[in-house]
């Protein structure tokens, strides 16, 4: 496919613009610009204080010192740092998310700091040597869940990455947080793939319904719609599966995998919940935004029973809960309780976002199996 030629700002058939040539001529005479040395307050003389020296210099510290609060509608669409001195004719980067309510969450700054402080390595920080051979049914159950998680984790890298470049860099904290999320999810894929392949088992089955749900998120028409589907609904459900996984771990290896993934996942869910809250509270047409979001939730919730009525999720969970295939009936009772908890926690997240779904929800109170 033919590609459009790259255009570069060259004038007069030279490498330099007229203004740059004038500057070079002045430099040759030993005359410097030095305007940057004379910039006055308010953007000079700033000394951010480490308010908790044992933590180090945080984003909260520098935001408290200068240009901390983003504008609701920044005038520029550039990569120039918030609070810097800029030329009048900076190019427009073509960002499409230029209003704070479209991307922001009030907990974004501490969440980013937490994310960077809690990065871990799936190679080094998991006690892989504690992994011991398991009975075949338990190993298959662990591997089936690990396969499912390997399949779904990277949606939460792909989806934010798709929207990241479209967000105005004025809201750099959101973009930085989404970068940490993308890295977290890469590590989640890594750790579950490693678990599936590390103990005599292997990668197991993937179901069409799972891929359909992932595709819905990936191709959601707006960021907030995809964020609701992914952060609030999907990752919330995955967080509950992680909690079950930690509870059902058969060794220290699995316990540590799930414990570390829970920390990461809780941040992603927390951002999504607080973003939904910020979006709905600050949307210029608030009532309409809430009504539209209810319409989306009505449809998305109808898909939950189908998404979770997946033999490759509920049966391995039941086998682990029943401590083997012989205890699968008892295990299913526990899986039904997980359903009730998942629904309850989803409704609590919606309530926290000021988006009350309790009377409206289409998620059945009891598992349909
Ligand atoms: Fe994840
Ligand atoms: Fe996540």
Give tens-digit pLDDT for 223-247. 999 999 999 999 999 999 999 999 9
Question: Interior CA angle at 277 toward 271 and 279, to 5°?
Answer: 95
How many C-beta neighbours within 10 Å does residue 323 have?
Answer: 16
The distance in angstroms from the start CA to the end CA of the chain is 51
How many residues make up the chain in this entry? 369
Contact 320, 141 (CB under 8 A): yes
% of the chain beyond a pLDDT of 70:
97
Nearest-10 crossing angle of helices 155-164, 136-153: 10
Ligand nearest to the CA of 159: 2
CA distance 113 to 93: 27
Contact 172, 235 (CB under 8 A): no
CA distance 146 to 155: 15
DSSP state of 5: P
Please tell me the predicted confidence (pLDDT) of residue 247: 92
Please tell me the predicted confidence (pLDDT) of residue 314: 95
pLDDT at 11 over 60: no
**Ion ligand 1 — residues with CB < 5 Å:** 153, 185, 188
183 CA to middle of ligand 2, Å?
A: 10
Kindly report, residue by residue over 116-168, the tens digit of the pLDDT: 999 999 999 999 999 999 999 999 999 999 999 999 999 999 999 999 999 99
Please tell me the predicted confidence (pLDDT) of residue 41: 84
265 CA to middle of ligand 2, Å?
A: 4
Please tell me the predicted confidence (pLDDT) of residue 7: 66
Confidence of residue 13 (pLDDT cuts 50, 70, 90): low
Ligand nearest to the CA of 258: 1
Please tell me the predicted confidence (pLDDT) of residue 307: 87
Please tell me the predicted confidence (pLDDT) of residue 365: 95
Please tell me the predicted confidence (pLDDT) of residue 3: 72
DSSP state of 81: P
Please tell me the predicted confidence (pLDDT) of residue 306: 87
Confidence of residue 29 (pLDDT cuts 50, 70, 90): very high
When the pLDDT of each residue in the chain is averaged and rounded to a whole number, the result is 95
User: Which long-range contacts (C-beta less than 8 Å, at least 24 apart) are formed by 329-337?
Assistant: 332/369, 335/367, 336/366, 336/367, 336/369
pLDDT at 113 over 70: yes
DSSP string, 284-309: TTHHHHHHHHHHHHHHHHHTHHHHH-
Place of tokens 């990461």: 264
Place of tokens 């904290």: 173
pLDDT at 346 over 60: yes
Please tell me the predicted confidence (pLDDT) of residue 42: 85
Kindly report, residue by residue over 256-313, the tens digit of the pLDDT: 999 999 999 999 999 999 999 999 999 999 999 999 999 999 999 999 998 888 999 9
pLDDT at 8 over 60: yes
Instruction: Tell me the C-alpha to C-alpha distance, in Å, between residue 20 and each of 24, 84, 95.
Output: 6, 22, 28
% of the chain beyond a pLDDT of 90:
91
Please tell me the predicted confidence (pLDDT) of residue 32: 97
Cα of 350 vs its chain's centroid, Å: 17
Q: Is the four-CA dihedral 6, 12, 13, 18 of positive or negative sign?
A: negative
Contact 71, 100 (CB under 8 A): yes
261 CA to middle of ligand 2, Å?
A: 8
Kindly report, residue by residue over 66-106, the tens digit of the pLDDT: 999 999 999 999 999 999 999 999 999 999 999 999 999 99
Query: Of residues 18 and 150, which shows the higher confidence score?
Result: 150
Please tell me the predicted confidence (pLDDT) of residue 49: 97
**Ion ligand 2 — residues with CB < 5 Å:** 156, 235, 265, 268
Q: How many helices and strands in the chain, by DSSP H and E?
A: 14, 0
Phi-psi region of 58 (alpha: psi -120 to 50; beta: other; left: phi over 0): beta
pLDDT at 10 over 70: no
Please tell me the predicted confidence (pLDDT) of residue 30: 97
Ligand nearest to the CA of 231: 2
235 CA to middle of ligand 2, Å?
A: 6
Ligand nearest to the CA of 192: 1
């Amino acid at each position: 496919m033919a590609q459009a030629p790259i255009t570069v700002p060259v004038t007069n058939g030279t490498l330099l613009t007229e203004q740059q040539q004038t500057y070079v001529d002045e430099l040759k005479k030993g005359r410097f610009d030095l305007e940057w040395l004379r910039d006055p307050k308010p953007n000079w003389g700033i000394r951010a204080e480490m308010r908790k020296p044992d933590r180090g210099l945080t984003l909260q510290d520098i935001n408290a010192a200068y240009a901390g609060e983003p504008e609701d509608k920044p005038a520029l669409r550039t990569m120039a740092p918030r609070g810097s001195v800029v030329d009048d004719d900076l190019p427009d980067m073509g960002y499409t998310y230029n209003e704070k309510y479209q991307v922001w969450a009030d907990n974004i700054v501490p969440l980013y700091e937490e994310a960077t402080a809690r990065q871990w390595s799936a190679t080094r920080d998991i006690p892989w040597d504690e992994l011991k051979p398991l009975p075949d049914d338990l190993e298959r159950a662990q591997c089936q869940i690990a396969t499912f998680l390997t399949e779904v984790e990277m949606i939460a890298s792909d989806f934010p990455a798709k929207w990241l470049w479209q967000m105005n860099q004025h809201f750099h904290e959101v973009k930085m947080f989404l970068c940490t999320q993308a890295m977290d999810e890469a590590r989640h894929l890594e750790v579950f793939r490693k678990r599936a392949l590390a103990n005599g088992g292997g990668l197991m089955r993937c179901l069409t319904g799972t891929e359909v749900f992932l595709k819905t998120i990936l191709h959601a028409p707006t960021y907030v719609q995809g964020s609701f589907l992914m952060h609030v609904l999907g990752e919330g459900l995955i967080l509950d599966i992680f909690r079950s996984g930690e509870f059902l771990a058969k060794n220290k290896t699995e316990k540590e995998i799930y414990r570390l993934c829970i920390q990461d996942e809780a941040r992603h869910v927390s951002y999504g919940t607080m973003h939904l809250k910020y979006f709905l509270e600050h949307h210029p047409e608030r009532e309409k935004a809430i009504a539209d979001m209810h319409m989306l939730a009505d449809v998305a919730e109808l898909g939950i029973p189908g998404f979770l009525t997946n033999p490759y999720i509920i049966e391995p969970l039941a086998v682990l809960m029943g401590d083997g295939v012989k205890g699968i009936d008892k295990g299913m009772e526990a899986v039904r309780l997980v359903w009730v908890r998942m629904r309850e926690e989803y409704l609590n997240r919606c309530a926290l976002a000021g988006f009350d779904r309790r009377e409206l929800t289409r998620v059945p109170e009891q598992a349909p199996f």
